[in-house]
A and B are shown apart, each in its own frame.
Chain A
Amino acid sequence: MSRQEQILPHGQVLRYTLRERITHWAAGVTYLYLLGTGLAFWSPWLFWLAVALGGTQVSRTLHPWAGLIFFGSVWYMYVMWAPQMTHTDDDRRWWKALKYYSTNQDDKMPPAGRYNAGQKFLFWGFFWANLLLFLSGIFLWAPQYFAWHSLVAMRISVLVHAAAALFTIGLFMIHLYMGLFAERGAFGSVIRGDVSIAFAKRYHPAWYKEIAGEAASPRK
């Protein structure tokens, strides 16, 4: 993305391109479905979710297909974002200052780039859990098609799948909390694509400096 074009009229900054937003929502919508149907199979107390989501057998049939789309979209995020997600010294300092972040004293935080260290953690957490969910999920889906299929592998897959899903649920709850409640304006960024300059300066000052700096300098 060429930086100059990220400064929009009316004090807004472009944060996510259309391609990024579509990818985000392909992952988000399928994740919600996977979460609902998965939790239905996780606990008898939530089995009604599978009924509400179209029927128990339908849920079992569609869960793996939704899983494929989810896997593909998270993989594409990796393609788009992996270079921006590398851990830096600032990130190390960010983790040390976590208590200021979690108590809303953002002025005491080291300046974050396009992604702060927590967001990077979320990304990598989802990336690795996605791999585990995919491998174990494929195996649970149709074990009979694998020549090396064995009961032992199936038993391990059930455990891995449930544990990885739980891990993502933890990430997901924090993700929703931050995006919907804590950082007002973040939700709009994955819908409309833009955030206000105030938002950019407040939560991603290093990123804002980068684009504002480039916007000020002549086009190359």
Chain B
Amino acid sequence: MSQATLRVQKISGHAGSVPGQDTQREYTVCKLIDTTTCIGCKACEVACMEWNDLPFGETVFDNTYQTMPETRWNYWNLILFNEHERDDGSLMWLMRKNQCMHCGEPGCLAACPADGAIIQYTNGIVDFQQANCIGCGYCITGCPFDIPKMNPKTHRVFKCTLCTDRVSEGLEPACIKSCPTGCLHFGIKDDMKELAESRAKQLRDYSNFPNAGVYDPPGVGGTGVIYVLHDATQPELYGGLPKNPHVPWSVKLWKGPLKWFGNVAMIGGLIGLFVHYLRYGPKAREEEDLATGPRGGRT
């Protein structure tokens, strides 16, 4: 999306080397979302729309605060409201700021066939480059969090950029800046991890949330967005946050064994046929056996 002055460590659909690979000096950046102090005010949603200049779209009303069921191509950051009944019968609101998780091993990037349509910077941000996107939708099949969305008019896919443009200038993402309760933090991954763990410990020790913990799923190589959850054993409660997300097996099968098998079979087939021809040649030579007089009529 943005023209940031960052080095790149992974490129989708790319043959050959990647300019920024293994040149890392920058730290991996990370957004920390403390769901336990989120009040669902949607300031971050507005900040995202403002900074990224996204048009306002229609909302739906279903007697809840949920203005739309999921993120859209032009709505990258959405608070998911979940009512949860605790064991003692009391009601609890679990609110989660939903957006791209900026996976360490992004399934979207693995699935994308277009050279340079999805890139991962050395600081960990996963960014879509719409100029290179061909609109095939493969990234949608690769994402375990159902994040990339297609613009139906332009057939290009959009999602949260983690404000690459701001981050590359040393600023925090717009959502972070807007949060009134301070439940959003931004910094280098190690620091955020430490902060998150200390907050989770606090919740366990003093606030009667014995299962409080940090969500940083290893199945996708850790994420550039981590959550503090009241109950880290049940992330599904927070609007279907997958417990153990990983790049879908179908994408792994397709980009792994199937690709290898296919390539070997195609190249092997070509070589095989060529050698067959060298060994056996044509079944008959036209001049000798088959050319019997001038061409006849046609239909």
Contact = CB atoms under 8 A, between A and B. Distances in A.
Interface in B103-137: 111, 113-115, 132, 134-137
Interface residues of A, number: 57
A80 interface: no
A131 to B, nearest CB: 20
A12 B299 CA distance: 12
B218 interface: no
A51 to B, nearest CB: 9
A196 B265 CA distance: 35
B280 interface: yes
Interface string A62-74: 0000000000000
Nearest to A50: B134
Among A8, A43, A184, residue most surrounded by chain B Cβ atoms (within 10 Å): A184
Contacts of A158: 111, 138, 141, 250-251, 254
B140 A154 contact: yes
Contacts of B284: 183-184, 202
Given A41-B136, A44-B13, A151 B254 contact: no
B283 A104 contact: yes
B266 A184 contact: no
Contacts of A194: 295-298
A117 to B, nearest CB: 16
A9 B297 contact: yes
Category for how many chain B residues contact A: 35 or more
Contacts of A183: 282-284
Contact of B285 (A59, A159, A184): A184
Interface stretch (B94-102, B168-176, B237-245, B286-294): B286-294
A170 interface: yes
Nearest to A155: B250
A184 B283 contact: yes
Among B141, B286, B292, residue most surrounded by chain A Cβ atoms (within 10 Å): B141
A56 to B, nearest CB: 5
A53 interface: no
Interface string A170-213: 10011001000111110000001110111100110000000000
Interface of B: 13-15, 111, 113-115, 132, 134-138, 140-141, 146, 150, 152, 155, 248, 250-251, 253-254, 258-259, 261-263, 265-266, 269-270, 273, 276-277, 280-286, 289-299
Interface of A: 5, 8-12, 14, 17-18, 40-45, 47, 50, 56-57, 59-61, 102-104, 106, 140, 143-144, 151, 154-156, 158-159, 162-163, 166, 169-170, 173-174, 177, 181-185, 192-194, 196-199, 202-203
Q: What 9 A-B pairs have minimum CB-CB distances, sorted nearest first?
A: A12-B296, A8-B296, A155-B250, A60-B134, A184-B286, A41-B113, A10-B296, A44-B15, A11-B292
26 contacts: A10-B293, A12-B297, A14-B298, A14-B299, A44-B13, A44-B15, A47-B15, A47-B115, A56-B132, A57-B135, A102-B276, A143-B137, A151-B140, A151-B146, A155-B251, A158-B141, A159-B250, A162-B262, A173-B266, A173-B269, A182-B277, A183-B284, A192-B298, A196-B293, A202-B284, A203-B283
